Structure 1
Amino acid sequence: MSPAWWGAVLGLGTATGLLVVVTRVLALRGPHLRLRVLPYVRDLVPADRAPAARSTRAVTAVFGPLVRRAADGVERALGGAPSVRRRLGRAGLGLSVHDFRVQQVMWGLAGFALAAAWGLLRTWSRPGNPLPFVLLCAGAFVLGVLLRDQQLTAQVKRRETAIVAEFPAVAELLALSVAAGEAPVAALDRVVRRSGGALSRDLADVLGRIRTGEPVADAFDALAAATGVPVVARFAHAVAVAVERGTPLADVLHAQAADVREAGRRALIEQAARKEIVMMVPVVFLVLPVTVVFAFWPGVVGLSLSS
């Protein structure tokens, strides 16, 4: 075969391979059946609500009983299962305490692996006593376990901050729906369908419990007991009292939304006042010395030349 024929065959094979790759990539990028069906089935909880739980189950399936025994050991050493369970609920992770302990073990193993790799490279270059490196690896494991606990606390704070930022809009929407003549449960359903966020997911859980037969007041009381945000607790108690006693709800929700907005403005003003003091640091230690140097340097040079 001539070189032209070889070039044609190679070009045809390359084009066929690229066509197969592009077709497969486009097929993988298409929406999954679950994503197309779940928006129309509101009562079901999306499976991607807890991706950390799926990854934890996969890791546990790979490593088996060893990881579970290590997680039980961390639980016995640290304790505080009720506090962890409460923080997991406030963070909206959907994990059990055992799953969280498994994640702590994995973080500790990651820290142990990094410390062990560094110690191995160090002993290759400078051989010495291995005891400090063993202690370093153990400390890295403990540090990884504690860092996962600190990250859980940070996740709780971020979610509660998002809830406080979302609350005025949700309360106003609910107040408008109630003022338009809808019942509290129907208004809650409308708000949950029209909004998205951490508070909306909590209200969707409350709506799911109501639909399963739990009384409205009890569902909102459970939300007030589980949440760590005082604003949401007051909101849940107000809705529960309004449903039980038939008191007007729209005015209460408008007032709570106004209070949250005013509290947000006060917090912003306080933060600005603190930042103003921090902004004085570069002015005093950077800008002012440079200004003084520029002001006095020509005079110093002139005096040295005249002398």
Structure 2
Amino acid sequence: MITPATGGAMAGAFALGVVLLGAGWAGTRRPALLDRVAPYVRDVSPIPADDSVSVSFPDRLRAIGTAVVTAIGGDDDVRRRLDRLGSAVRVEDFRLRQLRWVGAASGICIAISLLVAARRPTAPVALLVFCWVGALAAAWWCDRDLTRRVVERERAMEQEFPTIADLLALAVAAGESPTVAVQRVSALAHGELADELRRVMADVHAGGTVAEAFDALASRTGVGSISRFAEALAGAVERGTPLVDVLHAQAADARESARRSLIESGGRREVLMMVPVVFAILPVTVVFAFYPGVVGLQLTSGN
């Protein structure tokens, strides 16, 4: 039977061997083109070149950490998705939330590992790998949860867009300017797109121009129809072009796109739609069709 001290020593030796193996493999790789050319163009190149071609061990660890961070969501990507979500949460706050998820998953995995080790002898390396996998899975799941929330919000914005566009078209046709129309509709409407319009008006009231505020909306949203809508409004404000027909056309295009998406979704799920028919409606129909005959036969045989 392996004692805990022996198991810990074996796990440490295994981890050290993996690190040394990775470091040795990284040291034997062929130098990059920049490292090979830089010493010969040092007098004309603004790129600083190092005398040694080999990469130091801290740089390797930093590269590994960067790869892990990219896999679970880089800072720029997280900042972009938080902006699309319209959340005031900073990247640091999201990392703290991700760390709490990792801590909770690690605690659960450690408790499970201790219970398994107490019941029967288990390789410590396997338990250690299980804990690491659980922690990474928690970090990845937290990142996926942020992506899911962004997708749901943008889907809601896409559904609200035709109504908002028609309201803006009616306000502009009544004689209001695009800025006043956006302010009126954002004050009366409710939903995710209305929140984005209120954010646009907040940027305008903070000192930015209307065109810059709508350009920011077009750059941060992930919905193509809303991006085109924001660009059209920005162009209308800058050049004074007619906007009513453009808004009506965009609303009609959004409704047509939603209809096509619904038809495509129904076509992809045609097999799933047959499940309730085959396993629920058809058996009930068969029972209603044959049950009276079965009861009649039983009564006839009983007589």
Q: Same fold (TM over 0.5)?
A: yes
Other structure's SS at 1:186 match:
helix
Which one-letter code corresponds to 2:141 in the other structure? L
Q: Which of 111, 128, 135 matches 2:129? A: 135
Which structure dedicates a bigger proportion of its chain to helix?
Answer: 1
Structure-2 residue corresponding to 1:258 = 252
Q: Which of 189, 199, 218 matches 2:183? A: 189
Tell me how far apart the structure 2 counterparts of residues 285 and 165 of structure 1 sit (CA, whole Å).
Answer: 33
- Kept in 1, the 8 Å contact 2:116–2:122? The answer is no
Bigger shift: residues 116-125 or 217-226: 116-125
Which one-letter code corresponds to 2:76 in the other structure? P
> Quick one: structure 1 residues 250 and 288, their matched pair in 2 at CA, closer, same or farther if it must change by over 3 Å?
closer
Distance apart, 1:81 and its partner CA: 1.9
Q: Which of 227, 238, 245 matches 2:221? A: 227
Provide the aligned C-alpha RMSD in A: 2.8
Tell me how far apart the structure 1 counterparts of residues 176 and 163 of structure 2 sit (CA, whole Å).
Answer: 18
Structure-1 residue corresponding to 2:263 = 269
Structure-2 residue corresponding to 1:78 = 69
Structure-2 residue corresponding to 1:160 = 154
Bigger shift: residues 78-87 or 168-177: 78-87
Tell me how far apart the structure 2 counterparts of residues 74 and 145 of structure 1 sit (CA, whole Å).
Answer: 14
Structure-1 residue corresponding to 2:115 = 121
Q: How much identity, in percent, do the aligned residues show?
A: 46
Tell me how far apart the structure 1 counterparts of residues 65 and 195 of structure 2 sit (CA, whole Å).
Answer: 31
Q: Does residue 114 of structure 2 align to residue 94 of structure 1?
A: no
Tell me how far apart the structure 2 counterparts of residues 282 and 255 of structure 1 sit (CA, whole Å).
Answer: 39
Tell me how far apart the structure 2 counterparts of residues 160 and 215 of structure 1 sit (CA, whole Å).
Answer: 25
Tell me how far apart the structure 1 counterparts of residues 258 and 283 of structure 2 sit (CA, whole Å).
Answer: 38
- Kept in 2, the 8 Å contact 1:75–1:101? The answer is no
* Runs of 4+ residues over 4 Å off in structure 1: 73-76, 281-291
Q: Does residue 239 of structure 2 align to residue 248 of structure 1?
A: no
Structure-1 residue corresponding to 2:196 = 202
Tell me how far apart the structure 1 counterparts of residues 240 and 273 of structure 2 sit (CA, whole Å).
Answer: 52
Distance apart, 1:113 and its partner CA: 1.2
Tell me how far apart the structure 1 counterparts of residues 138 and 111 of structure 2 sit (CA, whole Å).
Answer: 15
Tell me how far apart the structure 1 counterparts of residues 155 and 141 of structure 2 sit (CA, whole Å).
Answer: 21
Which one-letter code corresponds to 1:142 in the other structure? L
Tell me how far apart the structure 1 counterparts of residues 160 and 217 of structure 2 sit (CA, whole Å).
Answer: 16
Deviations 1:96-145 (A, max 9, x none): 22222222111111111111121222223224333322221111001101
Where in structure 2 are there 5+ consecutive unaligned residues? 1-63, 295-303
Where in structure 1 are there 5+ consecutive unaligned residues? 1-72, 299-307
Tell me how far apart the structure 2 counterparts of residues 165 and 285 of structure 1 sit (CA, whole Å).
Answer: 33
Q: How many residues align?
A: 227
Deviations 1:209-250 (A, max 9, x none): 111221111111111111111111100011011111111111
Deviations 1:3-42 (A, max 9, x none): xxxxxxxxxxxxxxxxxxxxxxxxxxxxxxxxxxxxxxxx
Tell me how far apart the structure 2 counterparts of residues 159 and 223 of structure 1 sit (CA, whole Å).
Answer: 15
> Quick one: structure 1 residues 283 and 177, their matched pair in 2 at CA, closer, same or farther if it must change by over 3 Å?
closer
